[in-house]
Amino acid sequence: QITLKESGPTVVKPTQTLTLTCTFSGFSLSTGGVGVGWIRQPPGKALEWLALIYWDDIERYGPSLKNRLTISKDTSKNQVILTLTNMGPVDTATYFCVRRRHYGDFYFDYWGQGTLVTVSS
């Protein structure tokens, strides 16, 4: 059974750095072609793809936030970590962890339930 679960702070202050952890099970990020990443959804708005990291350490970032984002992985712990610097009110959103089964698949086959992060002083 494949599961992904997001963890991290529910509230961050403006200008702070957000660090979120995705802990997954049922698959390995050392399997060829696999990627794990993040998607967010501000309240009432569209989903926004943020970043992906692949089994071979290749990182990919969405264009709008790439200067503020870093994605990394700890394969031994089955974790993927996302950091987003200089948080502002517009970064208030539900953040989802997702899996891309293979780089030949252009969709996300498993999602976490999401974690709501609110930016507030």
User: Where do contacts with other proteins occur on this chain (CB under 8 A)?
Assistant: 4, 39, 44-49, 60, 62-64, 96, 105-114
Least separation in angstroms between residue 16's CB and other proteins is: 26
Query: Is residue 69 helix, strand or coil?
Result: strand
Which C-beta is closer to other proteins: that of 113 or that of 120? 113
Least separation in angstroms between residue 49's CB and other proteins is: 4
DSSP 16: P
Which C-beta is closer to other proteins: that of 11 or that of 47? 47
Please answer whether residues 97 and 112 qualify as being in contact, where contact means their C-beta atoms are separated by less than 8 angstroms: yes
Taking alpha carbons only, the member of 29, 42, 45 closest to residue 110 is 29
Least separation in angstroms between residue 40's CB and other proteins is: 10
Which C-beta is closer to other proteins: that of 15 or that of 113? 113
Please answer whether residues 104 and 44 qualify as being in contact, where contact means their C-beta atoms are separated by less than 8 angstroms: no
